[in-house]
Amino acid sequence: MEMTKTLGEFIIDCQAEHPHATGALTAIFSSIRLASKVLHREINKAGLVDITGAVGSENVQGEEQQKLDVYANEKFKTALAARGVVCGIASEEEDKYVNFEEGNSQEGEYVVLMDPLDGSSNIDVNVSVGTIFSIYRRVSPVGEPVTAADFLQPGHKQVAAGYVIYGSSTMLVYTTGNGVNGFTLDPSLGVFCLSHPNMKMPEDGKIYSVNEGNYIHFPTGVKKYIKYCQEEDETTQRPYTSRYIGSLVSDFHRNLIKGGIYLYPTARNYPSGKLRLLYECNPIAFLAEQAGGKAVCNPGEAIMDITPEELHQRTPFFVGSKNMVEKVEEFLAAEQ
């Protein structure tokens, strides 16, 4: 029987290509892999045990925290703290960044930013959710506590980024800046296997993903682009198909494979956009660009060029197939 390469084997092969690698990134991926398997197990029995629903508290952004959000945050935090290679984390579920004090964590050269359970408001109804992560090299001196500057780095400084999608199967998709690879969890073996090597986002697509319930509040350029998606035109194969799960990881994952665009512009309730630059947009933008796609906040402004000012900063987000993102940029630019 031909065995598919496992995530562990794949990472070791990649490390062997970099003889000066310290193994720290490998250790971080081991932590993420372990925590995501625990999450996979819990999510799969979410309807059976008392773990869905709200925990009764709000996160720093005033959003109700779901029990699984809190659980996921704890599991990833514990796993990342355990190996002494990560010196601190920032999470959508934490008010402030966290400095790891365990063992020799301060000697760690990396920080991890994460949305431990994105799309969690969907979990009660069995919709796919995800974990998004982003890894940076610290800028503060090794051996000292982490500082805000370690986390407020522009996305193009990311060393690695990825997501885990807990869907009809559980997958881990990541990049270290050398293409994008996807691994599917074989639940019977408990191992992630390389199922989607060298993922490429089609340059064009026929799917647009946006919460059209907010249409009335969108900027004129976005409204016009949505109308463009709905118009009939044989040469560009319009009208496009509208698909919106309301779970960024799931919507992006589909568009990555099939080609498409995801939009979360400014809206009345979200004057700066809804999605968080550090935990959601930067890692997804890194994956998109590595797969041949594109991600911008405004026409001509790449997501990964934004210099973050605060941890929980939000931004408008347009990500997907390169030609589709460039088309929406044209519409936005025409209204500026």
The residues of the shown chain that bind ligand AHM, judged by CB under 6 A, are 63, 92, 115, 118-121, 211, 246-248, 251, 274
Which is closer to Mg ion, CB of 73 or CB of 181? 73
Residue 91, strand partner residues? 114
Residue closest to 178 by CA, chosen among 194, 162, 195, 198: 198
Q: Give the one entry of Mg ion, ligand AHM, none that residue 246 binds, where binding means its C-beta sits below a cut-off of 5 to 8 angstroms depending on kind.
A: ligand AHM
Cβ-based nearer residue to ligand AHM, 248 or 328:
248
Binding partner of 274, given ligand AHM, Mg ion, none, CB within 5-8 angstroms per partner class: ligand AHM
Q: How far is the CB of 130 from ligand AHM (least distance, A)?
A: 8
* Among Mg ion, ligand AHM, none, partner that 69 touches (CB below 5 to 8 angstroms by kind): none
Rounded to 5 degrees, φ, ψ at 261 are -135, 140
Cβ contacts of 41 within 8 Å, gap of 6 or more = none
Q: Which is nearer to Mg ion, 115 or 251 (CB)?
A: 115
Nearest to 100 by CA among 92, 59, 153, 108: 108
Nearest CB to Mg ion, comparing residues 131 and 176: 131
Interaction partner, residue 15 (Mg ion, ligand AHM, none; CB < 5-8 Å by kind): none
Q: How far is the CB of 124 from ligand AHM (least distance, A)?
A: 13
Angle at 104 between CA 142 and CA 156, to 5 degrees: 45
Nearer to ligand AHM by Cβ, of 200 and 270: the residue is 270
C-alpha to C-alpha distance for 43 and 127, rounded to whole angstroms: 10
For the bound state, the minimum distance from the C-beta of residue 250 to Mg ion, rounded and expressed in Å, comes to: 12
The CB-of-23 to Mg ion minimum distance in angstroms stands at 30
Q: How far is the CB of 61 from ligand AHM (least distance, A)?
A: 8
Q: What is the CB neighbour count within 10 angstroms for residue 55?
A: 14
Q: How far is the CB of 12 from ligand AHM (least distance, A)?
A: 32
Of 122 and 140, which CB lies nearer to ligand AHM in the complex structure? Answer: 122
Quote the least distance from Cβ 118 to Mg ion, whole Å. Answer: 4
Indicate which of ligand AHM, Mg ion, none lies near residue 247 (CB less than 5 to 8 Å, by partner kind).
ligand AHM
What is the C-alpha R_g of the chain? 19
Rank residues 63 and 107 by Cβ distance to Mg ion and give the closer one: 63
3-state helix, strand, coil in the chain (%, to 5): 35, 25, 40
What token pair was written down for 94? 């934490």
CB of 314 to ligand AHM, least distance (A): 10
Residue 63 interacting partner from Mg ion, ligand AHM, none (CB closer than 5 to 8 Å by kind): ligand AHM
Q: What distance in Å separates the CA atoms of residue 88 and residue 80, rounded to the nearest whole number? A: 9
The item of Mg ion, ligand AHM, none sharing an interface with residue 78, based on CB under 5 to 8 Å by kind, is: none
26 binds, options Mg ion, ligand AHM, none, Cβ within 5 to 8 A by partner type: none
Whole-number Å distance between alpha carbons of 261 and 208? 5
150 contact choice in ligand AHM, Mg ion, none (CB below 5 to 8 Å, kind-dependent) = none
Torsion sign (Cα): 11, 159, 202, 258: positive
Closest CA to 158 of 33, 253, 283, 279: 283
Q: How far apart are CA 238 and CA 258, in angstroms?
A: 16
- For residues 225 and 235, the answer to whether their CB atoms sit within 8 Å is no
* Site residues (vs Mg ion, CB under 5 A): 115, 118
Q: How many CB atoms lie within 10 A of CB 227?
A: 11
Q: Could you tell me the smallest distance in angstroms from the CB atom of residue 280 to ligand AHM?
A: 7
Based on CB atoms, which residue is closest to ligand AHM, 246 or 271?
A: 246
Q: Are 55 and 72 in contact (CB under 8 A)?
A: no
Q: Is 214 exposed, middle or buried (0-12, 13-18, 19+ CB in 10 A)?
A: middle
**Nearer Cβ to ligand AHM, position 251 or 289?**
251
